Amino acid sequence: MLTLPPLSLYIHVPWCVRKCPYCDFNSHALKQPNALPAQDYVTALLADFQNELINVQGRVLQTIFIGGGTPSLLPPQSYQTLLTELNKRVPFADDIEITLEANPGTYEHGRFQSYFDAGINRLSLGVQSFQNEKLKALGRIHSAEEAIHAIESLKTTGFSNINIDLMHGLPNQSKEDAQYDLNTAIALNPAHISWYQLTIEPNTIFYTTPPILPVSETIWHIQEAGQNLLESNGYHQYEISAYSQTGRQAKHNINYWQFGDYLGIGAGAHGKWRCGSTGSFYRNWKTRMPKDYLSREKPFQAGIKTLTPAELPLEFMMNALRLYDGVPVTHYSEATGLPVSTIQSAWDLACNQGLMKPGTHLVPSERGRVFLNDLLELFA
């Protein structure tokens, strides 16, 4: 029997108040705000998880991440029930990290106190910008003032592990605009800041009617100045778009990037795990449409795939090379069951091209981080 990696759980809540024009996640605007089928959805999630129990393989849950959509649309009692019932089926680690994504536009002080009381101990607020004109361009339903008030109020509810999501490369954004957003976030002293570039994805409103975005030179200056500002204020970059105070990294995401196992429940959720008896790797995904997911006549699982040994090098590198310090070379074999020789030629070529660093760690160079897609192609 193999020694299996840590196990995480991802829970997807597919509803939101309004679909943002840049969003390509599996999210669906509520036609009637009061028509959220919270109780039925929790029942479905638990039934979905019941089918996943075979893949737990005797482990405890190290982290849970509840994403969306806008998971904070569900009432606290839904999460009280869900987490209690999940814990009956699988033990939680004593120091489990349980994250809830939330929208400042749905923030209510008493409601978030109840989320904390239900067992959620990390909150990720989708702020995106602290400038109202930028929020309007992004289709957000909250104002900058509401976002600041939400974060300040959260600190009185018991939440100390707070992430602020910010975007850069926004329509008509200057370097000064981006610095303003970061300085505002830093002044609020969250444990973690996710700061990532707006990209135009297919099947979004921005794809069909693209906004005017900053030119690549401006984006480069924004990124360089922003990284320096975050580092000088104690937010250390440990992943492409993740910055944290010392010791406050997101445990759930680190498990992804270190090629740990995760189960996925909810409409459109994905999972990836290794079988301890055979050593095989699997991916599965759940049916996307909420009405289909809630239907008792259709299976939760929409598909499952066995990862072949030829696919594992790229699968591993797509995660590990996002980490700022990479991973030890020995972790490749431990995580995949493959010898380092299966990536040696690609690694040598990446080092020769200045995209990776030689040594005891699989780690991208500064050039490799900029041209990450080119780097990953070497391992395909």
- CA dist 326 and 323 (Å) reads 5
The alpha carbon torsion through 153, 155, 157, 163 (nearest 10 deg) reads: 100
Q: What is the percentage of the chain residues whose pLDDT exceeds 70?
A: 98
What average pLDDT does the structure give for the chain?
A: 94
pLDDT tens-digit series, residues 368-379: 998 999 999 999
Band of residue 32 on the pLDDT scale cut at 50, 70, 90 = confident
Helix residue ranges, H only, 198-340: 205-208, 216-232, 251-257, 290-294, 312-320, 329-336
Calpha distance 28→68 (Å, rounded): 9
Cβ atoms of 237 and 194 within 8 Å: the answer is no
Q: Supply the pLDDT for residue 106.
A: 62
What is the DSSP-derived secondary structure letter of residue 32?
S
Full-model pTM: 0.96
Q: What is the pLDDT of residues 101-156, one digit of tens each?
A: 998 876 665 688 999 999 999 999 999 999 999 999 999 989 999 999 999 988 88
Q: Looking at residue 355, what is its pLDDT? A: 97
Provide DSSP, 89-156: HSPEEEEEEEEEEE-GGG--HHHHHHHHHTT--EEEEEEE-S-HHHHHHTT-SS-HHHHHHHHHHHTT
- The reported pLDDT for the residue numbered 19 is 86
The band of 20, judged by pLDDT with boundaries at 50, 70 and 90, is confident
CB atoms within 10 A of CB 139: 15
Q: What angle do CA 302, 316, 98 make, to 5 degrees?
A: 65
CA distance 41 to 36: 9
For residue 105, the model assigns a pLDDT of 74
Helix 312-320 crosses helix 341-352 at what angle (to 10 degrees)? 50
* 182-223 pLDDT tens trace: 999 999 999 999 999 999 999 899 999 999 999 999 999 999
Instruction: Give the number of C-alpha atoms closer than 13 A to the C-alpha of residue 88, restricted to the C-beta side.
Output: 8
Return the axis-axis angle of helices 109-117 and 76-89, rounded to nearest 10°: 10
pLDDT value of position 108: 61
> pLDDT at residue 306 above 90?
yes
Q: Residue 244: which residues within 8 A CB-CB, separation 6 or more?
A: 191, 192, 193, 235, 236, 238, 250
Around Cβ 278, how many Cβ atoms within 10 Å?
10
In this predicted model, what pLDDT tens digit does every residue of 237-269 receive, in sequence order? Answer: 999 999 999 999 999 999 999 999 999 999 999
**Angle formed by the axes of helices 216-232 and 175-187, nearest 10°:** 20
Mean pLDDT for 55-67 is 98
Pairwise CA distance, residues 139 & 300, whole Å = 31
Whether cis (ω within 30° of 0) applies to the bond prior to 234 is no
Show the tokens assigned to 261.
């196992």
Measured distance CA(125)–CA(150) in Å, rounded: 9
